[in-house]
Amino acid sequence: MGAFKKMELAVGVFVALGLAAFFMLAMKVSNIAELGEDKGYKVTARFENIGGLKVRAPVTLAGVRIGRVVGIGLDTHTYEAVVTLSIEPRYDRLPTDSSASILTSGVLGEQYVGLEPGGMDEYLKNGGALKLTQSALVLEKLIGHMLTNAVSGDNPPAKTP
Amino acid sequence: MPMPNTPFSRSDPPDPPPLITVRGLTFYRGDRAIFRDVDLDIQRGKVTAIMGPSGAGKTTLLRLIGGQIRPHAGRIEVDGACVHELGRRELYQLRKRMSMLFQSGALFTDLSVFDNVAFPLREHTRLSEALIRILVLMKLEAVGLRGARDLMPSELSGGMARRAALARSIALDPMMIMYDEPFSGQDPITMGVLIKLIRTLNDALGLTSIIVSHDVKETASIADYIYLLSEGSIVDHGSPQALERSRSAWVEQFLHALPDGPMSFHYPAAAYAQDLSLAQEPSP
Amino acid sequence: MIDGLRRLGRSTLFWLNRLGRATLFLLRLLSALPTLAKRPGLAIRQLYSVGVLSLPIIAMSGLFVGMVLGLQGYANLVDFGATSSLGRVVALSLARELGPVLAALLYAARAGSALTAEIGLMKATEQLSAMQMMAVDPFARVYAPRFVAGIIAMPLLAGIFTAVGILGGYFVAVQQLGVDSGAFWSQMQSTVKLFDDVINGVVINSVVFGWVANWIAVFEGYDAIPTSEGISLATTRTVVNTSLVVLAVDFVLTALFFGV
């Protein structure tokens, strides 16, 4: 049965290769590092318009990813979007007056939340809220603004906070 | 055509209960009746031949006996058990005691001759490999192929393949063997070998053999009893000597391989002259 | 017109009949699995012939497909200056769709047709009949090992196809076209989700496809008319039917997982 032993070996190698392929897919290709998380503390922020922001979008500060968007909801009384952010526990020195903006990575990329630190000495804790926010730039409104400016003679409009 | 209906032969003394009894067998394929109310007995320890023209349903009969297909009416009993009423497990138990040699040998092409013969032993017994080896070599020796044990079926001639399949059939020491056209397409020497083997094995191992064939001379030379089958029923049956003396024109045509007789040479057609357009009107 | 309708009705009934027989066949095959579990060697032997022997075609095709994806993706993205997204384009296309589907189609062509032909030939040479007469159940000895081995092999082959494809895309993108290696992998890693894309995409898809491909292949062999013409028809049917069903099921699965 020597031939059978060789066959068994080949089958074993084949299965090992297959598992290695999956391992590679899991490790190098996918976001497995992001799994098993959410020990982060939750902070909410309200926006007028979240644009194309999706759950699991990154939350960055100074360009460094410090957390994720974990929930998006709507306040039916104030008609504001309520976004829940999960910040990694090690970034626990976020001043309470920090601001959150919805930005786009690149021109056509996906949207993310960028934080800008404030100056207060108190830091955000679980359940806290970011008061200063900047909504997403909606392309149509931007173009609309540019067109009205072009028509009314090149006066740049005052930026709304 | 004379249709004697006595299940027991006319000239031999009464035998112990037959191994296989077939009563009132009816089987259709589509609209065509392959068997119409057929009665048969296969006696223990004897070589029984079932002969008839091609397409008479001889192979179908073997499949019915083996339980691969079910009759539409009638009863087939093998060693007391009604074949087509058995559950799958009992049927498989019965089949371990039956054995069939297929026309082409039906050796497993991915196994060597040795492994083919060892197959039933490995599947159905828990014997050690050493013991299996001895048994396999013994069976191969009986058919004269012990030296060919490591060949693959594709390397065997037709006759050798059949002998190897025969060795496989006797691996479990069955109580009966069914041979499906064992002599068809063989050269005279191989035929002689097979004839000798079938008869010798039958007697030496106390088997019951059923040979389905249309090779009259070869089969009649070793058969103890013959059934002649045609058009869905038994035309005649008896020992070879009894049939030789039969008055039936059909039996005579079949046994002596006459080209014309009750089985007409010409396929039914219109009058010859008319077909050739020589006569304008049908002859009076 | 009436004739056409009648023919339509007849073929529908014909295919329903076939589907019914195929389902009974599958049930009988599944009931033979416990017997197979006592003889794993049978399945291992089949795993060799459908898995190991399919590796070359799967790996090579995966490589080529990945490289083409790299090229085509680059050609389309370069106009937007978005070539840094090439990694995720290649990975997502392969993991979600091309990997499992193409692997299944190639499998049907190579291993599926071989299974059908082998079983059909065993039927034609009366080997299966002989096995039955020797009181050995062909379901446990012939059909179940091949089916089980195929279902194990399919996800492995799809995974290898996908992984090799991504590597092929990487090679073309980074080495040949100058896309930044870091961007290639990091964009990929941030977009390809383990559960949604790898597990749903590659694993679940390929298990379902493997079920389909092997069921059809083994059944067509079992059902083949035992002549050379019958076997050739059955083999063709295996490849054609597997391809069609895989693509249809792919649509259903995609709608289920990625639909809105």
Q: What is the 3-state secondary structure (H, E, C) of chain A?
A: CHHHHHHHHHHHHHHHHHHHHHHHHHHHHCCHHHCCCCCCEEEEEEECCCCCCCCCCEEEECCEEEEEEEEEEEECCCCEEEEEEEECCCCCCCECCCEEEEEECCCCCCEEEEEECCCCCCECCCCEEECEEECCCCHHHHHHHHHHHHHCCCCCCCCCC
Q: Is residue A4 one of the residues assigned to a domain?
A: no
pLDDT category at A22 given cuts 50, 70, 90 is: confident
Lookup: tokens for A84: 């829940």
CA distance A77 to chain C (A): 28
For all residues of chain C together, what is the average pLDDT?
89
The confidence band for A107, taking pLDDT boundaries of 50, 70 and 90, is low
Q: What is the mean pLDDT of chain B?
A: 83
Partner residue facing A108 (CB), from C47, C48, C82:
C82
Does any domain span residue A29? no
| pLDDT attached to residue B66 | 87
Given an 8 Å threshold on Cβ–Cβ distance, is B119 in contact with C137?
Answer: no
B100: chain C residues, CB-CB within 8 Å: 130, 133
Three-state SS string over C23-91 comes to HHHHHHHHHCHHHHHCCHHHHHHHHHHHCHHHHHHHHHHHHHHHHHHHHHHHHHHHHHCCHHHHHHHHH
Contact between B92 and C129 using a beta-carbon 8 Å cutoff: no
Distance between CA atoms of residues C83 and A136, nearest Å? 25
Q: Is C132 on the interface with B (CB under 8 A)?
A: yes
A9 within some domain? no
* Nearest beta carbon to residue B102 from set C126, C135, C137: C126
CA distance A24 to chain C (A): 7
Contacts of A154 (CB under 8 A, 6+ apart): none
Q: Are A67 and A85 in contact (CB under 8 A)?
A: yes
Q: Cα–Cα distance between B83 and B176 in angstroms, integer?
A: 15
Amino acid at A17: L
Domain enclosing residue A53, as ranges: 36-138
Would you say residue A106 lies in a domain? yes
Name the A residues in 74-133 with CB < 8 Å from any C CB. Answer: 106-108
Query: Which of left, alpha, beta for C178 (phi over 0: left; psi -120 to 50: alpha)?
Result: left
CB atoms within 10 A of CB A18: 22
CB-nearest to B98 from C121, C125, C133 is C133
Integer angstrom CA distances of residue C13 from B31, C18, C20, C243: 22, 9, 10, 22
pLDDT band of residue A31 (cuts 50, 70, 90) is low
Neighbours, chain A (3 or more CB pairs < 8 A): C
Which of C38, C132, C133, C142 best tests the B interface by mutation, with the highest count of B CBs <10 A?
Answer: C133
Yes or no, beta carbons of A31 and C55 under 8 Å apart: no
pLDDT digits (tens, 9 = 90+) for C27-80: 999 999 988 888 888 888 899 988 888 999 999 999 999 999 999 988 888 888
Nearest to B112 by CA among B173, B157, B154, B169: B154
Q: How do residues B220-234 score in pLDDT, each as one tens digit?
A: 888 899 888 887 788
Q: Residue B165: what pLDDT?
A: 92
Which comes out higher in pLDDT, residue B254 or B38?
B38
The confidence band for B1, taking pLDDT boundaries of 50, 70 and 90, is: very low
Q: Is the pLDDT of residue C113 over 60?
A: yes
| Structural domains counted in chain A | 1
Please check whether residue B19 is in contact with residue B208, taking contact to mean a CB–CB distance below 8 angstroms.
yes
Strand partners, A42: A86
Is the pLDDT at C232 greater than 60? The verdict is yes
The verdict on residue A23 lying in a domain is no
- Confirm whether A158 is domain-assigned: no
C-alpha to C-alpha distance for B97 and A1, rounded to whole angstroms:
29
Kindly tell me the burial class for residue B245, based on how many C-beta atoms sit within 10 Å of its own C-beta (0-12, 13-18, 19 or more). Answer: exposed
Residue of C nearest to A16 (CA): C156
Nearest by CB to residue C129, choosing from B102, B120, B165, is B102
B84-93, B123-132, B261-270, C150-159: least confident range: B261-270
Q: Are C94 and C100 in contact (CB under 8 A)?
A: no
Residues 6+ away with beta carbon under 8 Å from B210:
B20, B42, B48, B49, B50, B62, B65, B176, B177, B178, B179
β-partners of residue B213 are B51
Q: Residue B136: pLDDT above 90? A: yes
Query: Rounded mean pLDDT of C15-33?
Result: 92
Check if the beta carbon of residue C157 is closer than 8 Å to that of residue C55: yes
> Chain C residue with minimal CA distance to A32?
C194
Contact B91, B85 (CB under 8 A): no
pLDDT tens sequence across C177-221: 877 777 777 777 777 777 777 777 788 999 999 999 999 999 999
Q: Taking CB atoms and an 8 Å cutoff, what residues of chain A touch C260?
A: none
What residues pair up with A115 in beta bridges, in sequence order? A61, A100
Cβ atoms B75, B23 nearer than 8 A: yes
Give the angle C253-C254-C259 at the CA atoms, nearest 5°: 115
Which chains have 3+ CB pairs within 8 A of C? A, B
Please answer yes or no on whether A17 and C160 come within 8 Å at the CB atom: yes
pLDDT band at B29 (very low <50, low <70, confident <90, very high): confident
Q: Is C44 near chain A, with CB under 8 Å?
A: yes
A12 falls within a domain: no
User: Does any domain span residue A82?
Assistant: yes
Of A11, A20, A32, the CB nearest to C44: A11
Q: Does C203 contact chain A (CB < 8 Å)? A: yes
pTM score of the predicted model: 0.77
CA distance C73 to C42: 44
Q: Which residue has the higher pLDDT, C99 or B3?
A: C99
pLDDT category at B217 given cuts 50, 70, 90 is: confident
Confirm if C107 and C239 have CB atoms less than 8 A apart: no
CB-closest option in C45, C55, C189 to A29: C189
Task: Answer whether C198 sits within 8 Å of A22, measured CB to CB.
Answer: yes
